[in-house]
Chains A and B, each alone.
Chain A
Amino acid sequence: MKKKECKQKSPPETGVSRRDFLSAAGAGTLGIAAAGTLVGSETAIAEPAADLIEATQLVPITLHINEREHNLLVEPRWSLLFVLREKLGMTAAKPGCERGECGSCTVLMGDQTRYSCMTLALEATHAEITTLEGLMDGEDLGPVQEAFVECDGYQCGYCTPGQVVAVEGMLRANPDPSIEEIRLGVSGNLCRCGAYPNIFKAAKRAGEIKRTGGES
């Protein structure tokens, strides 16, 4: 991976120089961590009235992930995937292709599935984000995870977090999909082991568990 990680620089000394950004980014709930970055010089930036963020400048943002608020500093080019894994230690979403083709980085924003590798972290502040971690039922597996175990819906397991989140997203829109609808619904997630038949069965079973609480 890790083109993006290699590019990463240590936090620059100067912080955010336009206070304006705070309100626009909806980051009104900034924690102390960010406060120290607000002392940058207003004069350092040329005139554009729009919110401008320099390439390597760290910006305070608030992300809503799995029903918790996270205040943190990000560079504008950091992907949500990078921030989840490297800054927040939430490693369920996986880097695969890192160009929006394989689906191993899938998360939910609201009820919509999204590739976190192609979403900038600072453009993800408006939505409730759910990662695989958020689909757990306390210490127990959630219904979709349970179905994957029951149906053996994986081989190596690397794509599984993305597959599970994609199935969750599909079932929120279509609680009782046909196999054909499942095939299309999770078409944004590749499995190099080729465990598709069982993934599709697991998706079908997950729908049943969600609808009936696992009775059928």
Chain B
Amino acid sequence: MPGTYEYHRPRDLEEACRLLADLPETQVLAGGTDLLFDIDADVRRAQHVISVQDLEDLKQIREADGSLSIGAGCTASDVRASSLVQELFPELAGMVGDFASPQVRNRATVAGNICSAVPCSDFPVILICLGASVELESKRGSRTVKLVDFFTGPRETVRETDEIMTRILVPERKPESAASYLKFQRRASNSLSVASAGAFLTLADGVCTEARIVLGAVAPIPLLAEKASASLTGEAMNPEVIARAAEIARDEAMPITDVRGSVDFRRELVQVLTQRALNQAVERIEQQTKRAPSD
């Protein structure tokens, strides 16, 4: 019967890992905005729910070894309000307002948005753009997985059932780099992506040395558009180069038709959003590098 799970509230990570290793059919409860309803709807099964409520270490946002470290217990609102995130990754703090509703942002965690692995999720797209990794902890030890390698299918990830996500690591970037995330939704806010696109660029004298284009809601997983990204490397950023990359991204997308949009509409959106996201990333880099010398 849905909802009849046993509830555990470990006091430290070690205890949490032991429970995950020893108990059958466990689910980690952070914000619960996906999990509690998935359990009720029998989408996910749980005999044992392990709450992270008392794991204070997971609620930290700090700098660590050249990365921004976001604890897995941090809510979307925590990330938006963090002065550290605003300073280091304004594009990340800025996109939080596009995610769900205020009430959900106050409860849902970024790590939960990643672990749920729903193809239309917002955070995975921008975080893959930014080259983020996630740290997974278990009784067997700790491992770091690049977020781009984390997803294996809709609601499926490389996370083993005995592992708990502890933090998200976003490598700090230079002023010559910036990311942008744009989503198309059916109303102005509190809506799922019909399609989304994220772009990350590093420019040296206007020439692209690093590019990542990531697409959301148009594939079984948040999709790194490898060909589109590669088409930018070594190129001077101009409207033709950007338009071509957007066209390639359109072809790389693998959307399905559902209640939110058709295959053709989604492909069209991918092209438009990719183009706009790239333009926005270029603009941001121009602004950042203009400001930098005066520091």
Contact = CB atoms under 8 A, between A and B. Distances in A.
Interface in A60-83: 76-77, 79
A49 interface: yes
Interface residues on A, range: 35 or more
Contacts of A204: none
B249 to A, nearest CB: 28
A211 B107 CA distance: 28
B57 to A, nearest CB: 16
A52 to B, nearest CB: 5
Contacts of B77: 112
Contacts of A4: 3
A156 to B, nearest CB: 21
B36 A120 contact: yes
B6 interface: yes
Contacts of A21: 9
Interface string A77-98: 1010000000000000000000
B60 interface: no
Contact of A184 (B11, B104, B188): B188
Given A52-B8, A77-B5, A112-B77, A118 B189 contact: no
Interface stretch (A35-43, A99-107, A129-137, A144-152): A99-107
Contacts of A143: none
A188 B104 contact: yes
Contacts of B3: 4, 7, 55, 77
A103 B103 contact: yes
A186 B15 CA distance: 39
Interface centre among B4, B77, B101 (most CB of A within 10 A): B101
Nearest to B106: A112
B54 A188 contact: no
Contacts of B36: 79, 118, 120
A184 B18 CA distance: 42
A119 B189 contact: no
Contact of B103 (A3, A115, A184): A115
B235 to A, nearest CB: 37
A48 B22 contact: yes
B102 A187 contact: yes
Interface in A1-58: 3-4, 7, 21, 24-25, 48-56
Q: Which among A77, A115, A185 has the greatest number of chain B C-beta atoms within 10 A?
A: A77
A168 to B, nearest CB: 12
A54 B6 CA distance: 5
Q: Which of B1, B4, B23, B97 has the most CB of A within 10 A?
A: B4
Interface in B105-132: 106-107
Nearest to A105: B103
B93 to A, nearest CB: 15
B265 interface: no
Contacts of B54: 24
Contacts of A201: none
Given A4-B3, A100-B37, A120-B32, A48 B102 contact: no
A51 B15 CA distance: 10
Contacts of A123: 32, 51, 53
27 contacts: A3-B40, A7-B3, A24-B9, A48-B18, A48-B22, A50-B8, A50-B10, A51-B10, A53-B6, A53-B7, A55-B4, A55-B6, A76-B6, A99-B40, A100-B104, A103-B103, A113-B103, A113-B106, A114-B107, A115-B104, A120-B32, A123-B53, A169-B102, A185-B102, A187-B188, A188-B104, A188-B190
The 7 nearest A-B residue pairs measured at CB: A188-B101, A76-B7, A50-B10, A55-B4, A187-B189, A187-B190, A112-B106
Given A21-B9, A101-B101, 19 more contacts: A3-B40, A48-B22, A48-B23, A53-B6, A53-B8, A56-B4, A76-B7, A99-B40, A100-B37, A113-B103, A120-B7, A123-B32, A166-B102, A170-B102, A183-B189, A184-B188, A184-B189, A186-B102, A187-B190
